[in-house]
Homo-oligomer: A and B are copies of this chain.
């Protein structure tokens, strides 16, 4: 039994936890009032997103803390294992949010996603057939919509074709193939996530003109800048806005809407890393696992992750040097 498991059950004052811990796990990045608690000798393992957060970057560097970011842990295939469960959640949320926004009082077309006997269901276009799009499609299929999944990777479409078992169509994605079907769609879900890059702009403004009034566009890529030209981040308090006659749902951090599910999903993937950090110490753990080593963002007053340094125009040392 490791140290970590013990800390789940013991309920201690927050300050004491910060002071007495060697390794601290969080879900979100430290907020300003917590900056004072950062300290040399502590290992922090959490979402950081500091490339876009200068104050936090500075606080981490100045404290000397070893800060390990969930979002930069990256395996040999370029996959981001600690982001993956969030994608699955976002995909499923996207469809259920889209279904709800299609209701008239929410501003949508007033069409029921799954139809009823005698009245055909809504048409759903999902652009991007990765884990995000696949989960969005599973829910749309389950809600009995007519579903079309677009992707440019034919091998991926083959896998989806088997997984869908004839219940959804797969379409090779191109500007032409999207434009052709767009006017018949009720719900469009943008699920094109290019790891570490801005999402491409797949639906341009002029294409919206030919869409059905009250059609809904959900942009799951909004946290990477969005994959529709007119996407801009919204919040759960005010989730949608209108462009031409269509409704855009671009809530940032969609998985945040289901913290119960997200926390379990996140813990499932972080726990094995956390156990390694706790049982072996961070140096040995990172020496044994390159994916984890890529998570180190700051240590001993230095930035150890290139893109963060570049974002703030600072110097950095390679993690390999730190590990010796």
Say yes or no for A230: interface residue by CB 8 A criterion.
no
Binds B, one of A98-106, A195-203, A280-288: A98-106
Contact (Cβ within 8 A) A92 B105: no
Say yes or no for A158: interface residue by CB 8 A criterion.
yes
Say yes or no for A241: interface residue by CB 8 A criterion.
no
Residues of B within 8 A of A110 (CB): 257-262
Chain B residue at smallest Cβ distance from A144? B166
CA distance A169 to B147 in the complex (A): 12
Contact (Cβ within 8 A) A114 B166: yes
Shortest distance from the beta carbon of A101 to any chain B beta carbon, whole Å: 9
Shortest distance from the beta carbon of A46 to any chain B beta carbon, whole Å: 19
Say yes or no for A39: interface residue by CB 8 A criterion.
no
Residue in B105, B120, B131, B142 whose beta carbon sits within 8 Å of that of A236 in the complex: B105
Residues of B within 8 A of A105 (CB): 236-237, 257
Instruction: Give the interface centre of A154, A169, A174, A258 by most chain B CB atoms within 10 Å.
Output: A258
Say yes or no for A138: interface residue by CB 8 A criterion.
yes
Residues of B within 8 A of A175 (CB): 5
Contact (Cβ within 8 A) B88 A117: yes
Residue in B113, B115, B261 whose beta carbon sits within 8 Å of that of A111 in the complex: B261
Say yes or no for A170: interface residue by CB 8 A criterion.
yes
CA distance A146 to B120 in the complex (A): 12
Contact (Cβ within 8 A) B171 A120: yes
Residues of B within 8 A of A247 (CB): none
CA distance A138 to B144 in the complex (A): 9
Residue in B109, B141, B157, B166 whose beta carbon sits within 8 Å of that of A260 in the complex: B109
Shortest distance from the beta carbon of A122 to any chain B beta carbon, whole Å: 9
Residues of B within 8 A of A27 (CB): none
Residues of B within 8 A of A138 (CB): 114, 144, 166
Shortest distance from the beta carbon of A84 to any chain B beta carbon, whole Å: 8
Shortest distance from the beta carbon of A99 to any chain B beta carbon, whole Å: 5
Residue in B135, B170, B264 whose beta carbon sits within 8 Å of that of A172 in the complex: B264
CA distance A237 to B103 in the complex (A): 12
Residues of B within 8 A of A139 (CB): 114, 142-144
Say yes or no for A152: interface residue by CB 8 A criterion.
yes
| Residues 58-97 of chain A, each 1 if its beta carbon lies under 8 Å from chain B, else 0 | 0000000000000000000000010011001100110011
Binds B, one of A48-56, A267-275, A301-309: A267-275
Contact (Cβ within 8 A) B117 A170: yes
Contact A143 B146, CB 8 Å, known A93-B112, A114-B92, A116-B88: no
Contact (Cβ within 8 A) B258 A104: yes
Say yes or no for A160: interface residue by CB 8 A criterion.
yes
Residue in B143, B169, B170 whose beta carbon sits within 8 Å of that of A143 in the complex: B143
Residues of B within 8 A of A258 (CB): 102-104, 110-112
Further 9 A-B residue pairs, CB within 8 A, beyond A85-B116, A115-B169, A118-B172: A88-B117, A109-B260, A114-B142, A116-B135, A117-B170, A118-B157, A121-B169, A141-B142, A172-B264
